Structure 1
Amino acid sequence: MKTSYKTIIISDVHLGTKGSKAKEIARFLKQYQCENLILNGDIIDGWQLKKSGSWKRKHTRFFNRILKMIENNHTNVYYLRGNHDDFLEQILPLQIGRLHILTDMTYESCGKKYFITHGDIFDSITTNLRWIAYLGDMGYTFLLWLNRIVNFYRFKSGLPYFSLSQYVKGKVKQAVSYVDEYETELAKMAKAKGCDGIICGHIHKAENRIIDGIHYLNSGDWVETMSALAEDHEGNWQLIYYSEIDFKSISHQEPPATSLRLTEEDDLIPLKKVSFEIPKDDLNSENFRF
């Protein structure tokens, strides 16, 4: 049987870019069942798709996997807007069956309340100086390109994977200071909202710790870290890393589909164009209690 969680949270998949680990995250999601799946921003990288990015079959398979989770396991899916998929602003908020598309949300479970947001709203560079944010995105894209070359030769030499971008972040004093300030400010926001914790993404740095009495959780990313947050049915949170999963010990048996019958080499579900008209007075963040 598959491992069952109450809630799984992933962020920063950046579908449409070369660095996105679309195959890995689809394989990851196949191993688990959950009542709630929260896609916490930057799932689709609209910035790169406007420039040099491309949409591939494996990127569509990621959404096919989510559709199977909804159909087979009745999973509730919440897609929160990030800065790279800010095109979603045009349709927020939106609900189609078990799929919810939102700006952010408040999650209550086992007597605790968490504010969940991608995190870019607290990033003054991304919010106020967008051209600098685009410049930073270009630099990160270059580091990922260079990283592939470096690790190609490391692999041929029998050396383990090395993250050039994480190395740079760890060595540049301003980057270290930014991450610390980012986490502290988010913890302050959670306290101001009367929450016990805050769950975010955005900075591609997985974390699970207490900051000034606030439970700070960051799901990491699916470009390099390949990590996710998971809550068990007792309300305990943990970080799961793809590289640490023993896939051989996990059963690959799928529960029978009710109406959506796709194999792992599934035929892609055709996506139809739909026009939405959202009332202007229905744009507030929603609270969800589980």
Structure 2
Amino acid sequence: MNTSFKTIVISDVHLGTKGAKAKEIARFLKQYRCENLILNGDIIDGWQLKKSGSWKRKHTRFFNRVLKMIENHQTNVFYLRGNHDDFLDQILPLQIGKLHIQTDMIYESQGKKYFITHGDVFDSITTNLRWIAYLGDVGYTFLLWLNRVVNYYRFKAGLPYFSLSQYIKGKVKKAVSYIDDYESELAKMAKAKGCDGIICGHIHKAENRMIEGIHYLNSGDWVETMSALAEDHQGNWQLIYYREINFKSLYLPAQTTEDEAWPKENLIPLRKVSFEQNPDELNPPSIRF
């Protein structure tokens, strides 16, 4: 199983909420190496922290894992702003060593360009009618609570995990229509920017498909789906689901340290990256790897 990637993209972790799978994502990141880690929005849920959310030690461990990736493997980390962590607007853009905090970015790899954005900028609900967005957030939080109750009893009965919210999204016609429109609009934006693809999150629906010639990629979420996007060193993208990982086959030998266990010949040297500041947020600087 491949454990070394060029780029890994995760989004919608919602740290600070009860639904966040902080332990699982820290465990996930511990198993993989990548040259670039893109945290594509809603990593911290500022909305919930202002209300009933709470910050726990396991949430801090996630960032400790990210810092170890920077320190031990020289990983470039890009934290892109989402609607739930819009408090980042106060410091954007910011660069501290290999950590970059910004609104969005254009990623170039293997001759292809991808526009990477959380996706809320294309959502008229979150940008124009914030009070409705907050109301929807309350409903989704309740749905997640109900989902935990349902799956508690399913687990005791020996049944597999069941996503109540995904089931409802798939049954409600307006929700299905919204997702289709959302994906189409993002594909149009990528085409308008002269990009070959779009990488986003926001709607908690993992996807890897073509839309009218544009490669549409959505990393899903770490509240229910627990999925990530990964690009290998040949430029191929895939979705990785936490529940499908065989961690036993990934464990490092007990007699070696994490760094010693990785064959030196498998390590791919990092290329130098140049960054430019562009005042136009709709046309961010290209970043080549």
The normalised TM-score by structure 2 is 0.90
**Residue 41 of structure 1 aligns with which residue?**
41
Cα distance between partner residues in 2 of 1:143 and 1:244: 24
In the TM superposition, 1:66-105 aligns within 5 A as: 66-105=66-105
- What letter is aligned with 2:117? T
- Post-superposition Cα deviations, 1:30-53, rounded to whole Å, max 9, x if no partner, equal 000000000000000000000000
Cα distance between partner residues in 2 of 1:240 and 1:7: 12
**Residue 208 of structure 1 aligns with which residue?**
208
- What letter is aligned with 2:107? Y
- What letter is aligned with 2:140? Y
Cα distance between partner residues in 2 of 1:281 and 1:15: 30
Cα distance between partner residues in 2 of 1:236 and 1:146: 37
Q: Is the 8 A contact 2:203 2:220 kept in 1?
A: yes
Once the two structures are TM-superposed, the CA of residue 72 in structure 1 deviates from its matched residue by 0.2
**Residue 171 of structure 1 aligns with which residue?**
171
Once the two structures are TM-superposed, the CA of residue 22 in structure 1 deviates from its matched residue by 0.2
Cα distance between partner residues in 1 of 2:82 and 2:235: 25
Aligned length: 267
Equivalent of 2:258 in 254, 260, 265: 254
In the TM superposition, 1:215-254 aligns within 5 A as: 215-252=215-252, 253-254=257-258
**Residue 118 of structure 2 aligns with which residue?**
118
- What letter is aligned with 2:287? F
**Residue 287 of structure 2 aligns with which residue?**
288
Once the two structures are TM-superposed, the CA of residue 2 in structure 1 deviates from its matched residue by 7.5
Cα distance between partner residues in 1 of 2:139 and 2:285: 35
Cα distance between partner residues in 2 of 1:209 and 1:23: 29
The percentage of counterpart residues that share the same residue type is 84
- Post-superposition Cα deviations, 1:70-129, rounded to whole Å, max 9, x if no partner, equal 000000000000000000000000000000000000000000000000000000001000
Cα distance between partner residues in 2 of 1:245 and 1:281: 40
Q: RCO higher in 1 or 2 (8 Å CA, sep ≥ 6)?
A: 1
Cα distance between partner residues in 2 of 1:164 and 1:235: 34
Once the two structures are TM-superposed, the CA of residue 251 in structure 1 deviates from its matched residue by 3.0
> SS of the counterpart of 1:202?
coil
Q: Is the 8 A contact 2:198 2:216 kept in 1?
A: yes
Once the two structures are TM-superposed, the CA of residue 158 in structure 1 deviates from its matched residue by 1.2
**Residue 138 of structure 2 aligns with which residue?**
138
Structure 2 gaps, min length 5 = 261-276
The normalised TM-score by structure 1 is 0.90
Once the two structures are TM-superposed, the CA of residue 159 in structure 1 deviates from its matched residue by 1.2
- Post-superposition Cα deviations, 1:187-237, rounded to whole Å, max 9, x if no partner, equal 000000000000000000000000000000000000000000000000000
**Residue 128 of structure 1 aligns with which residue?**
128
Instruction: Rate the CA distance shift 1:92–1:54 in 2: closer, same or farther, 3 A.
Output: same
| Residues 1:63 and 2:63 aligned together | yes
Structure 1 gaps, min length 5 = 257-279
